């Protein structure tokens, strides 16, 4: 089984090291100083007091890596449409695309059934680039839970979590899902195959939708924005609007809004990914985490007044920073 991780940053690098440690046939697509360090020194993972370095097969050019059984995409959502053509040398008719990308996935309405079957999500797949190039039948969904960071080129620090939930768009326990789950489990990664992956997508997105833009607008850490009366109320309203959309699409939430916000507060003085991107001058995941929810609101005819306001503000903030 050949597995290529396209986007060997913190999360992709973490998965790559874990697979390489157990002898899996894994390769990574990376670039810049990170790639140079991997080629020279191997890829290093610092995890729970353990410090491990493994040699890895890595390249900036996918042609060097050949056809794969699985291509795991661990890029930011806005980056993917721009590199679809670059992925072609990795893919044939039997290749599975594993979409480990935050937010509403471009394939969301594939095999969902009902009146919205086949609906495209323009905010995360403008021009249907991924839908047309990959084809939704090639996709295996993935919700990524680990937190990690690249602390220097070639070095990944794992912070918490080791679960990558997998799921077919139709909810089946397919051979391809079970085989990948087995390979990841052998590497010490939790990889359950879920019959209702969209439920997990929404529970994770619930927090990202609200906490990320609010933190980028206020520079507040999670513990502060989840306990301040004003920002907690804004987050609550955004989450209630999102829940109304999701429930129209058949999603079941296992916890209520207050518990989800309390869970964010319990994380402590964490700077969200959007705030980190803003501070480091990188594009923020606005479309995948916020615009996509607004778009699904329009599709389901669900009002999103609070989401609309926060989205307008964070988009202006991004433009003012030339991001």
User: Which positions are catalytic?
Assistant: 204
Q: Would you state the structure tokens that stand for residue 321, as one six-digit string?
A: 């920073």
Instruction: Give yes or no for a contact between 96 and 180, defined as CB atoms under 8 angstroms apart.
Output: yes
From residue 74, how far is each of 78, 119, 291 by CA, in Å?
Answer: 11, 24, 20
Question: d(Cα 248, Cα 112) in Å, to the nearest integer?
Answer: 12
**Any residues with CB less than 8 A from the CB of 12 and at least 6 apart, and which?**
5, 6, 28, 30, 72, 74
d(CA 289, CA 222): 17
Instruction: Judge contact between 52 and 164, C-beta under 8 A.
Output: no
Helix (H, G, I), strand (E, B) or coil at 43: strand
The three-state secondary structure class of 7 is coil
The tokens 């794992």 sit on which residue?
158
Cβ atoms of residues 164 and 145 within 8 Å: yes
Which residue has tokens 């989205």? 311
Packed helices 305-320 and 197-218: angle between N→C axes, nearest 10 degrees:
50
Partnered with residue 142 across adjacent β-strands are: 166
Q: Is 87 helix (H, G, I), strand (E, B) or coil?
A: helix
Distance CA 298, CA 292 (A): 10
């Amino acid at each position: 089984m050949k597995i290529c991780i396209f986007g060997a940053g913190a999360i992709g690098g973490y998965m790559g090291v874990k697979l390489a440690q157990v002898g899996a046939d894994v390769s990574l697509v990376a670039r810049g100083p990170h790639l140079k360090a991997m080629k020279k020194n191997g890829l290093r993972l610092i995890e729970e007091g353990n410090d491990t370095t493994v040699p890895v097969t890595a390249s900036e050019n996918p042609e060097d890596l050949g056809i794969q059984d699985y291509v795991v995409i661990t890029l930011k959502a806005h980056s993917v449409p721009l590199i679809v053509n670059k992925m072609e040398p990795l893919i044939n008719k039997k290749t599975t695309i594993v979409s480990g990308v935050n937010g509403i996935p471009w394939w969301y309405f594939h095999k969902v059934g009902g009146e919205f079957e086949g609906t495209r999500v323009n905010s995360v797949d403008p021009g249907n680039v991924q839908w047309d190039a990959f084809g939704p039948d090639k996709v295996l969904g993935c919700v990524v839970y680990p937190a990690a960071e690249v602390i220097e080129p070639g070095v990944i620090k794992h912070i918490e979590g080791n679960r990558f939930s997998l799921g077919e768009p139709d909810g089946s326990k397919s051979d391809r899902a079970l085989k990948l789950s087995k390979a990841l489990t052998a590497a010490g990664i939790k990889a359950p195959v879920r019959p209702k992956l969209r439920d997990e997508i929404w529970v994770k997105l619930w927090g990202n939708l609200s906490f990320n833009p609010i933190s980028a607008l206020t520079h507040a850490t999670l513990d502060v924005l989840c306990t301040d009366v004003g920002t907690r109320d804004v987050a609550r309203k955004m989450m209630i609007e999102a829940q109304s959309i999701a429930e129209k699409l058949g999603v079941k939430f296992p916890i209520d809004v207050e518990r989800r916000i309390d869970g964010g507060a319990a994380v402590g003085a964490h700077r969200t990914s959007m705030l980190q991107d803003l501070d480091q001058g990188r594009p923020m995941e606005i479309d995948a985490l916020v615009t996509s929810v607004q778009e699904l609101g329009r599709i389901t005819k669900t009002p999103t007044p609070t989401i609309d306001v926060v989205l307008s503000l964070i988009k202006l903030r991004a433009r003012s920073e030339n991001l």
